[in-house]
A and B are shown apart, each in its own frame.
Chain A
């Protein structure tokens, strides 16, 4: 039953992300816009490139959607609303999201098109930049919780949310999540002005709809992971009597809105800069975060 509820919630969440994205980019709040867009996608003819690698071309978008759903399986929305509370849950999220890279490389290579292929390779470079900044902050979060269970990580923040306990980790994880979801300013692999859509450029109709849905679910999954790791999960603010699911929903939507808004106000980062900044500044800062959290855990258990 939980699986069904979470799948429905993910779809609902993806719908609201689409509404938000449309609102932010076009300046108009249109609740029905994603529905009309979806109908238009399904109604359009699907153009197929001349010489695609059929397997990669077809599997890429589906794998993107599946990897995002897989990562969401270990994210608790309430103490009981979780698909599976794995003992290695926090690391499982990272493992599942690695398939985002595989999906995008397949989607980039499959159509046999220059724009999409370059986009796919760009994401590989992007992974080298952000991957450590996903794992290392999660390590610090798990250190405080003394567990990789995602429910236990939420419980460990009962007195103080991790955004206050380890703000550095939050900033790094938030930035890396945006890079993983290829949101602006980290959208080099689907850059319209450089690659005419990149990985997306050779997809149309139903396939493009699945690709876009996969990306929306990925955004909502990463926002939910941020809430679980740093914003106290389902736990609310004192004095406001909302049910746990409502707190989760509000926080996830706020994080999603922040992720979508930030990219609008800054230009796209360059691939080389992302790599150098992540390795020169990001990884040392992530190590510093682990060290600080280690000291705090020892001093204030």
Chain B
């Protein structure tokens, strides 16, 4: 009997021996760890995001995130107001309105002029239109990740419709937006496949802003301090669950809210849109001033500080929401199953172009 056992043991490849030096993850099962890239071009994640997971089986043991298309807003030499605005317009193709508008506001702050009411309202409408488009774009990616084909088609076609729409056409899309919202409230499996995933519970914002912070119950929204928003009855929408489902619901609610704000702003003409990115040329000769502005982009708060000398912008510092939100990837994905981890990353709605390098 003993000789039989000896024979077996001498030729048997013990799993304990094979795995004894392997690292252990949360479930205690020793497995080979592999580094797997998810990006820069991965379906369901924004293009340009360099995400690498160290996988233990299909559990994420470590995560590393960076961007292929980040921005550096360093000015080598002084540039004119309008060149600076144009430069910020090209900063993030996913938010072509927010950043040039932020530049306008910061320049206006430095020069001490305020935009006319009609211009301010037109800016509000443009910003809310961009929020709707951005949230619909996120919904398309979310649908791609979750394999929800109907939503992918619907959200992308609505996004295209909004991008091409003028004010009158936007109003006509109201029913489609409400129908989409209702449909998603009653979709089977949607809640179960997103609830509890990527949960971010916070007492303080911890650098988070936008839908990420508000879905975790943080009442933080730069729009609340804007008098034009207050006049239109703007209130901060929040949720408390802090998970992917809460972020989904919050973005859907924000689409509806943005729609209401556009309706109430009652802009009658699209010609106003042409003027919103212009600053008064009468103040071009402003000497040595500094200004700052905060704007609520679809992804969260962006802050710009700049210095003007002889009517030109000489230095600028920009803070963007995606730069902050990138740091949440590691805690959100740690020890999560791969599908959940990717859904959590997707729910952050990162823009790789926004991330500062």
Q: Which residues of A contact B (CB under 8 A)?
A: 25, 27, 114-115, 118, 121-122, 184-185, 187-188, 191-196, 263-273
- Residues of chain B contacted by A194 (CB below 8 angstroms): 44, 145, 338-339, 342
- Cα A267 to Cα B148 in complex, Å, equals 4
Are B146's CB and A268's CB within 8 A? yes
Among the interface residues A185, A192, A267, A268, which one has the most CB atoms of the partner chain B within 10 A? A267
- Residues of chain B contacted by A269 (CB below 8 angstroms): 189, 193
**Given A192-B147, A266-B190, A268-B148, 5 extra CB contacts under 8 A:** A25-B149, A114-B34, A265-B187, A266-B148, A267-B143
Please name 22 pairs of A and B residues whose Cβ atoms are closer than 8 Å in the assembled complex, sorted by A.
Answer: A114-B55, A121-B57, A185-B147, A191-B147, A192-B147, A193-B147, A196-B42, A196-B43, A264-B149, A265-B187, A266-B187, A266-B189, A267-B143, A267-B146, A267-B148, A267-B151, A267-B189, A267-B190, A270-B193, A270-B340, A271-B337, A273-B192
- What does DSSP make chain A's interface, helix, strand, loop or mixed? helix
Are A267's CB and B187's CB within 8 A? yes
- Residues of chain A contacted by B339 (CB below 8 angstroms): 188, 191, 194, 270-271
Given contacts A114-B36, A193-B146, A196-B43, contact A267 B338 (CB under 8 A): no
Among the interface residues B144, B189, B339, B342, which one has the most CB atoms of the partner chain A within 10 A? B339
Are A266's CB and B153's CB within 8 A? no
Are B144's CB and A266's CB within 8 A? no
- Cα A266 to Cα B187 in complex, Å, equals 7
- Residues of chain B contacted by A184 (CB below 8 angstroms): 147, 149
B245 to chain A, nearest CB (A): 11
- Cα A184 to Cα B193 in complex, Å, equals 14
Interface size on B, residues (CB 8 A): 29
Are B187's CB and A192's CB within 8 A? no
Task: Fill in one digit per residue for B185-229: 1 if any A CB lies within 8 Å of its CB, else 0.
Answer: 001111011000000000000000000000000000000000000
A212 to chain B, nearest CB (A): 17
Asked whether any CB of chain A lies closer than 8 Å to the CB of B58, the reply is yes
- Cα A109 to Cα B277 in complex, Å, equals 55
- Cα A122 to Cα B42 in complex, Å, equals 19
- Cα A194 to Cα B192 in complex, Å, equals 17
Partner of A185 from the list B144, B189, B338 (CB cut-off 8 Å) is B189
Are B153's CB and A27's CB within 8 A? yes
- Cα A264 to Cα B143 in complex, Å, equals 11
- Cα A100 to Cα B192 in complex, Å, equals 28
Are B58's CB and A267's CB within 8 A? no
B58 to chain A, nearest CB (A): 5
- Cα A152 to Cα B143 in complex, Å, equals 45
Asked whether any CB of chain A lies closer than 8 Å to the CB of B150, the reply is yes
Partner of A263 from the list B36, B43, B149, B342 (CB cut-off 8 Å) is B149
Among the interface residues A27, A184, A268, which one has the most CB atoms of the partner chain B within 10 A? A268
Are B188's CB and A192's CB within 8 A? no
Partner of A268 from the list B57, B150, B193, B338 (CB cut-off 8 Å) is B193
- Residues of chain A contacted by B36 (CB below 8 angstroms): 114-115
Given contacts A192-B43, A194-B44, A194-B338, contact A267 B147 (CB under 8 A): yes
Chain A residue at minimum C-beta to C-beta distance from B153? A27
- Residues of chain A contacted by B144 (CB below 8 angstroms): 192-193
- Residues of chain A contacted by B58 (CB below 8 angstroms): 118, 121-122
Chain B residue at minimum C-beta to C-beta distance from A192? B43
- Cα A193 to Cα B342 in complex, Å, equals 9
- Cα A122 to Cα B338 in complex, Å, equals 11
- Cα A25 to Cα B152 in complex, Å, equals 10
- Cα A114 to Cα B31 in complex, Å, equals 14
- Residues of chain B contacted by A195 (CB below 8 angstroms): 338
